[in-house]
Amino acid sequence: MTLGNLAAFGQDNVRRLLAYSTISQAGYLLVPVAMAGRTDLAEPALLFYVAAYAVTNLGAFAVVIAVGRDDLPGYTGLLRASPPLALSLIVCLLGFIGTPPTAVFVGKVLMFGAAVDGHYTWLAVVAAVNTVASVFYYLRWIVPLFGRLAGHAPSRPPRGAVAVAVTAALLSIALGVGSGIALAV
């Protein structure tokens, strides 16, 4: 978790930022793996987190493909240029942080619960500190979305990528809101 977060702090390339974010997310995924056999929360935490992260990551990469830019300044004004893409990216990036009502929020709550229930409270604290640290680099990407468009209007994004991004963002929210139903099954 910490290695991925530290590497992501200085990134201006969104693909690299997502790659280092993935390293961090893999660290969160290892928490329930470490708790296997120690608590019954380990398995649902791992499975839900994997599903939540996969949906959210798909949405974030779909936005990157649709925008076609790798630099953070290339996302300036996206909210005005393409509200569905910008809102999808905001949902996905806030999802990576673990903010409600996204699916990753539920995954992180389960992961924290598994660590505490498995008597590894210190690991839950490390994960919480890393979650707070990740806010910095995700917000560095979100803030330009609200800026003014500089220069010419961006080209029209591919419909397929926009559809995938919007669907993934909506699915992340649906899994977050409907997690009680999903976890009861």
What is the tens place of the pLDDT at every residue in 3-57? Answer: 999 999 989 999 999 999 999 999 999 999 999 999 999 999 999 999 999 999 9
Give the three-class secondary structure for 62.
Answer: helix
Cis peptide before 101 (omega within 30 of 0): yes
* pLDDT, tens digit, 9 for 90 and up, residues 54-104: 999 999 999 999 999 999 999 999 999 999 999 999 999 999 999 999 999
Looking at residue 10, its amino acid is G
Q: Using CA atoms, how far apart are residues 184 and 149, in angstroms rounded to an integer?
A: 46
**Residue 70 lies in domain:** 2-184
Give the three-class secondary structure for 33.
Answer: helix
* pLDDT, tens digit, 9 for 90 and up, residues 144-179: 999 987 655 557 788 899 999 999 999 999 999 998
Q: What is the pTM of this model?
A: 0.92
Buried b / exposed e over 93-121, threshold 16 CB at 10 Å, is bbbbbbbebbbbbbbbbbbbbbbbbbebe
Q: Which helix (H) or strand (E) holds 147?
A: none
Instruction: Count structural domains, the chain.
Output: 1
Q: Which residues pair with 13 in a beta bridge?
A: 71
Residue with tokens 């995938």: 164
Across the chain, mean pLDDT equals: 93
Check pLDDT > 60 for residue 125. Answer: yes
Query: In the prediction, which pLDDT does 75 show?
Result: 94
Give the three-class secondary structure for 37.
Answer: coil
